[in-house]
Chain A
Amino acid sequence: MAERITDIGPPHFEKFLPPVIKENYGKWKYHEIPEPGVLRHVAENGAEIYSVRVASPRIMSTLQARDLCDIADKYCSGYLRFTSRHNFEFLVSDKSKLEPLKAELAKRGIPKGGTGHSITNIVHTQGWIHCHTPAIDASGVVKSVMDDLFGYFGSHKLPAQLRISLACCLNMCGAVHCSDIAILGIHRTPPKVNHERLRHLCEIPTTIAACPTGAIRPHPDKSIKSVVVNEERCMYCGNCYTMCPALPVFDSVKGGVALLVGGKVSNAKTPPMFSRLAVPYLPNNPPRWPEVVQAVRKIVTKYAEGANKWERVGEWVTRIGWEKFFEVCEIPFTFQHIDDYRWAYDTYRTSMHFKF
């Protein structure tokens, strides 16, 4: 414990602000997007700063980070930032450096974009790189989907911004529950109980309490300190495995992807919305997840064709109706789409209004 330093917090952000931003902090007049990936902010006194937004894979090596630092040193006096969707922004105070920076990015193959009505970076999780509860991978699926939708990253051709997120299990780390399109890892098999090890690895009451459907109860044989899973009640959420390592739930064949659509967080025009189930299951098919890529593209294409200007996916679906959404996207409507959890009643149709 000698010479241990604690509770110093992060360094103050002001230390890392470009002088133009520091001087005009809270005094900005307007901004514009001269081209995809470039923003221009103008202050009340006429000072301006350009931010060039570039894509990032989120998981990167120190060598890649150093490369980006080199670029920032060369064109931005060493200033850069990361956005809340893990893109990078180079902050250019000197307008004459803007074109050379863009040329350098093009030479290095670093794509700029992610502004305005585009598909910007996918907020995603750890997947098979680091987590122990995932049903699908994160980085692999994200790379496959972004490769396919790359044209939408560096352009403004959508009706509104379209946010895609991925979470590799139902814990939903990140933003899947409130994204225009959400890719979600799901299990389709109940956990396998390791009765031998359970007593040593798990707190049985916590494990029982972790189940949202009450499917877990103590082992009926009092001499066995373990639990049993009522498979009829289990919906394979994997919560019990989070609490108890003796209940592994991952199945490489049966696990897979669900797609949700129509969430948003902003209050613009309509209140924020949760995303809702669109495709209940797509197979886990590494390394390129073609079924997932295809399904996401289909939804994006149909949305781009059908939605009005400024209309988010959720607003578009609300306007045309869910039955129409399933029809235009050619997604079969199945019993899995019908909510059956606790407050499901409110999601049923209690009206005569519907389209044939």
Chain B
Amino acid sequence: MATVEFKGKTFTVDEDGFLENLDQWNTEWVDYVKDSEGIAELNDEHWKVINMLQDYYKKNGIAPMVRILSKVTGFKLKHIYELFPSGPGKGACKMAGLAKPTGCV
């Protein structure tokens, strides 16, 4: 378990860079992750995806299926990849501070 210091905030992360303690999420975290995820500047569309993921997670306790993410945000999978080059799981969920995707990925 490693800790990261960024703009005065401390984050505990695992070896893949996902938050080990979900309570530590804040906007600085998004700012910190965006570089390693190949995102230069965050726009409204990025935030729309991040907010949707967080709302869904708070309400249902799980990350949404890709088709639900697409349907609710109105972004096709192709566009989600344009926003988050590593994809909805490794990119968007990591930034939104959701638990790391599991299973045979």
Contact = CB atoms under 8 A, between A and B. Distances in A.
B60 A200 contact: no
Contact of A242 (B38, B85, B99, B104): B104
Nearest to A4: B85
Contacts of B60: 205
A170 interface: no
Contact of A171 (B21, B62, B85, B104): B104
B102 A205 contact: no
B103 A243 contact: yes
Interface of A: 1, 171, 199-206, 242-245
Name the residue among A200, A205, A245 with the largest chain B CB count within 10 angstroms.
A200
Contacts of B62: 203-206
A203 B22 CA distance: 12
Nearest to A131: B104
A339 B103 CA distance: 27
Contacts of A245: 102
10 contacts: A1-B38, A1-B85, A200-B20, A200-B22, A201-B100, A202-B99, A204-B61, A205-B61, A205-B62, A243-B102
Contacts, number: 32
Given A244-B102, A245-B102, 17 more contacts: A1-B38, A1-B85, A171-B104, A199-B22, A200-B20, A201-B99, A202-B99, A203-B61, A203-B63, A203-B102, A204-B62, A205-B60, A205-B61, A205-B62, A206-B102, A242-B103, A243-B103
A171 B103 CA distance: 11
Nearest to A239: B103
A170 to B, nearest CB: 13
Nearest to A173: B104
A245 B61 CA distance: 16
Given A1-B38, A1-B85, A202 B102 contact: yes
B38 A203 contact: no
Contacts of A1: 38, 85
Contacts of A243: 102-103
Contacts of A205: 60-62
Contacts of B99: 200-203
Contacts of B21: 200
A291 B12 CA distance: 45
Closest 6 CB pairs of A and B: A203-B62, A205-B61, A243-B102, A205-B62, A200-B22, A204-B61
A202 B99 CA distance: 6
Interface string B49-88: 0000000000011110000000000000000000001000
Nearest to A243: B102
A201 B60 CA distance: 15
B18 to A, nearest CB: 9
A245 B102 CA distance: 8
Nearest to B100: A201
A201 B1 CA distance: 13
A138 to B, nearest CB: 16
Interface string B20-41: 1110000000000000001000
B56 to A, nearest CB: 11
Contacts of A200: 19-22, 99
B5 to A, nearest CB: 20
Nearest to B82: A1
